[in-house]
């Protein structure tokens, strides 16, 4: 049996590794402010249409809505957010002052929750920056929900169905962040687009009448627009009230300018709910803030314009809440 061993000459090869560095120049783009709304043939307007509601997780949205109506959020398990913010009508109540758990009237009128997300601050005083903070404060406020986050969470965690909903929406049991986020998510969805004025802003010249357009021009000409402008027709600045003459209750002196969206459907008016009709409110504002005694035709024209600001929620126009002042003006 022969054994042969042989050796092969091998040529060497050069392997080249080419490293290519690809530099991607990412342009820094900053969000430009939204353009002013072009009115039909009238150029840009200081009021812009309400945008479409932001895309939200439907499970979180549904959970937020349920929590908004859940009486377990109050200390006495009697009241829910929806008790003072009636979403079937105007997102508020018809009362000049809603009441505390002990039956005393609250210091300020309840503002509507509709379109609150479009305001730069929340509450009449504009002392809260976002819904999460506001919810936490309201839960702990003895004048409103008279509870606190921990107490609410304890109640919710004892409900298997609620725990399941939190798990489905957030992947965990009810906790502080999820609770606040669910309610805030829901409140951010409470927009009322589709008002006739917005249709007009979007180019539908027939959406509002000539009288209403005249009222809008007067609204601008008199200077009301100085404070009531932007997407929420207000809600983007602070202002003193009673500039020339007293308007309503003197305190608080500085208010976040209220939005005029759905104003025809949200009586009573002012922070103390002292104006029961829109005509009354317009007249008082003209005198207190503009030092003008508005004539009846001027008030009629401005009210006609303000009526065009009523939007639509879930397919139905926003309407006044039932109650002592819940009558359309």
Partner 1 sequence: VRLSSLAVGVMLGIVLLTWLLLRGIGNDGKRYEQALQAFNELAFAEASLHRDVLQARAGLLLNYDAFSASEAAMKNAVTQLRSLAQTEGLNSGPVDRLASSVVKQVELTEQFKSSNALLQNSLSYVGLLSTDPTFGDQDVQLMRAADALAAAILHLTRDTSPEAIQALEGRIEQFAPQAPTVGPDAEATQALLAHARLLSQVLPAVDRTLEALVFMPNRQSFDETRALFSSRRAAVEATAWRFRLLLYLASLLLLVALVRLGLRLRARALDPERFDKYYREVHGPMTSKLPGLKGYKYGPGRALDGGPGEFFWYWSGIFDSRQAALDAMASPEGLAGAADVPNYYHEDPIFIFFEM
Residues at the interface with partner 1 (CB under 8 A): 1-10, 12, 28, 30-31, 33-34, 36, 44-48, 120, 221-223, 226-227, 229-231, 236-240, 243-244, 254, 289-293
Q: Which residue is it, tokens 């091998």?
A: 10
In sequence order, the 6+-apart residues with CB closer than 8 A to the CB of 247 are: 241, 270, 284, 285, 288, 289
DSSP H or E run through 37: strand 37-39
The nearest distance, CB 151 to partner 1, in angstroms, is 30
The nearest distance, CB 243 to partner 1, in angstroms, is 6
* CA atoms of 134 and 151, how far apart (whole Å): 17
The two tokens of residue 124 are 């009449």
The nearest distance, CB 316 to partner 1, in angstroms, is 27
What is residue 128's three-state secondary structure? strand
Pick between residue 15 and residue 161 the one whose CB is nearest to partner 1.
15
Asked if 277 and 266 touch (Cβ cutoff 8 Å), the reply is no
Pick between residue 223 and residue 297 the one whose CB is nearest to partner 1.
223
Pick between residue 289 and residue 307 the one whose CB is nearest to partner 1.
289
The nearest distance, CB 94 to partner 1, in angstroms, is 30
The two tokens of residue 214 are 């005249």
The nearest distance, CB 273 to partner 1, in angstroms, is 23
Pick between residue 73 and residue 299 the one whose CB is nearest to partner 1.
299
Q: Which of 327, 320, 325 is nearest to 112 (CA)?
A: 320
Pick between residue 168 and residue 291 the one whose CB is nearest to partner 1.
291
Pick between residue 128 and residue 237 the one whose CB is nearest to partner 1.
237
Backbone dihedral angles phi then psi of residue 275, each to the nearest 5 degrees: -100, 120
Pick between residue 87 and residue 285 the one whose CB is nearest to partner 1.
285
Strand (E) positions, 199-325? 238-240, 254-256, 312-313, 316-317
The nearest distance, CB 67 to partner 1, in angstroms, is 26
Kindly report the number of other CB atoms within 10 A of residue 103's CB atom: 6
The nearest distance, CB 12 to partner 1, in angstroms, is 7
Note the maximum CA span of the chain.
Answer: 127
């Amino acid at each position: 049996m022969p054994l042969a061993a042989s050796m092969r000459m091998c040529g060497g090869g050069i392997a080249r590794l080419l490293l290519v560095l690809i530099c991607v120049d990412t342009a820094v783009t900053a969000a430009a402010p939204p353009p002013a709304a072009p009115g039909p043939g009238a150029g840009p307007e200081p009021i812009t249409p309400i945008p479409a509601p932001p895309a939200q997780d439907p499970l979180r949205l549904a959970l937020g809505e349920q929590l908004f109506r859940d009486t377990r959020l109050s200390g006495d398990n009697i009241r829910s957010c929806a008790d003072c913010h009636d979403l079937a009508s105007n997102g508020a109540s018809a009362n000049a002052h809603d009441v505390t758990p002990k039956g005393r009237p609250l210091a300020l009128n309840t503002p509507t929750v509709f379109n609150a997300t479009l305001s730069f601050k929340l509450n009449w005083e504009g002392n809260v920056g976002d819904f999460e903070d506001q919810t936490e404060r309201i839960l702990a406020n003895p004048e409103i929900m008279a509870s606190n986050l921990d107490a609410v969470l304890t109640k919710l965690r004892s409900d298997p169905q609620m725990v399941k909903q939190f798990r489905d929406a957030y992947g965990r049991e009810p906790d502080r962040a999820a609770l606040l986020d669910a309610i805030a998510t829901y409140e951010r969805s409470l927009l009322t687009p589709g008002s006739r004025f917005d249709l007009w802003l979007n180019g539908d010249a027939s959406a509002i009448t000539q009288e209403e357009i005249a009222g809008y021009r007067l609204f601008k000409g008199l200077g009301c627009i100085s404070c009531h402008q932007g997407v929420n027709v207000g809600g983007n600045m602070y202002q003193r009230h009673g500039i020339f003459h007293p308007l309503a209750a003197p305190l608080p002196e500085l208010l976040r300018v209220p939005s005029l969206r759905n104003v025809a459907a949200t009586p009573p008016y002012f922070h103390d709910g002292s104006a029961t009709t829109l005509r009354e409110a317009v007249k008082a504002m003209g005198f207190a803030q503009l030092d003008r005694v508005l004539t009846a035709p001027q008030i009629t024209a401005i009210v006609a314009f303000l009526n065009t600001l009523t939007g639509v929620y879930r397919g139905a126009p926003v309407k006044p809440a039932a109650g002592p002042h819940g009558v359309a003006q």
